[in-house]
Copies of this chain bind each other. A is one copy, B any other.
Amino acid sequence: MDKPTIADVARLAGVTKGTVSHVYNGHRPISAATKKKVISAALSLDWSPNYNAQALAVQRANAVGIVLARDPSVLASDTFFPIFLSGVETVLAKHGVALVLQVVNGHEMECEAYRTMAQGRVDGVIVLDLSRNDYRIPLLKKLQLNAVLADSCNSSKDRGFSNVWVDDRAPIKILISHLLELGHRRIAHVSGPMQYVHSYERAQCYIETMGSGELLRTGDFTANSGVECTKDLLSSSNPPTAIIYSNDVMATAGLSYAQSQGFKIPEDLAVAGFDDDPISEHLNPPLTSVYTNAFKRGQITADRLLAEINGALPESVETEPSRIRFRASTGDR
């Protein structure tokens, strides 16, 4: 029982393959009578067009790609990505476009992944975890692959790619001024790895606003690094009274560590996170965090990519600003 092909349908319907093809993609008028014959033939054979053959003929994969160069432990700690992905999928689904996802480790594998994707496997890619001077940008250009970047500032600079960006400085600024109003003077920041634009932007804004990087520590988004940085900060001779973390996993781990050392939250130490993990609202105390519209951003990004695949020019679009969810860990609510 081989799978039926378009020829089988054509034969059964008493028409040619071309006609069958056209009733399925509406590229030319078809009489109601033959349309009906064809459809019932296809139905009775349970036929639908073969993906690879179609892709080869029209030179379009109807798929987009995401390649993630991340350690599994970081992947698991990231609450942004799954929600972003859901957003992406909602719009892809509407257009019958699939997502091919590749998790790689190492530069080598990453390049290889983009290369094979460019070989007709996908029509474009979404680029996450952008770093400053990202080497993927020239690579993607060379591969002539449609791409949209998820950026943290409007750094379009004629890179030739769409970027869907959010102002990653704004929430830091708001958080700091809020903490200052509450009387905090020694405010620390536990950032992510500095090669990432989001981490860099946030840290840079932190330094500029505070006028010093004395209380800046660099983590790697894992719970462990959250604990380590917190330990380091709290054991100094002049410890902070507030810490802003660059994700909720580090914040939660840091918060618990502080509690275990006898710090009362928020009385002795105010804590804020980033990304608003679904659990954060339910911690004790509830964690103040930055809500980043991951779902919406996924949708916008996918929309942009599809537009570009369909011939639109690259464009830089700003997404909804992030909003702070103030909760008890900073003494709010």
Interchain CB contact under 8 A, A278 and B83: no
Interchain CB contact under 8 A, A98 and B102: yes
- Interface members, chain A 261-299 (any B CB < 8 Å): 277-279, 281-284, 286, 295
- On chain A, the number of residues with a Cβ less than 8 Å from chain B's Cβ atoms is 65
How far is the CB of A79 from the nearest CB of chain B, in Å?
Answer: 5
Using known A-B contacts A82-B75, A103-B86, determine if residue A253 contacts B282 with beta carbons closer than 8 Å. yes
The answer to whether A223 has its CB under 8 Å from any CB of chain B is yes
Question: A100's contact among B49, B100, B281, by CB below 8 Å, is which?
Answer: B100
How far is the CB of A85 from the nearest CB of chain B, in Å?
Answer: 7
A226 closest partner in B (C-beta): B282
Using known A-B contacts A119-B48, A226-B282, A257-B282, determine if residue A85 contacts B96 with beta carbons closer than 8 Å. no
Which of these binds chain B: A55-63, A162-170, A201-209, A317-325?
A: A55-63
With most chain B CB atoms within 10 A of its CB, the pick from A52, A53, A56, A119 is A52
How far is the CB of A139 from the nearest CB of chain B, in Å?
Answer: 12
Name the prevailing secondary structure of the A interface residues. helix
Q: For residue A85, which residues in chain B have a CB less than 8 angstroms away from its CB?
A: 75, 101, 103
Q: For residue A99, which residues in chain B have a CB less than 8 angstroms away from its CB?
A: 100-102
- Interface members, chain A 86-143 (any B CB < 8 Å): 86-87, 89-90, 93, 96, 98-104, 109, 115-116, 119-121
How far, in angstroms, from A79 to B75 measured CA to CA in the complex?
Answer: 9
| A contact residues vs B (CB 8 Å cutoff) | 1, 3, 48-53, 55-56, 61, 63, 72-73, 75-79, 81-83, 85-87, 89-90, 93, 96, 98-104, 109, 115-116, 119-121, 144, 222-224, 226-227, 249, 252-253, 255-257, 259-260, 277-279, 281-284, 286, 295
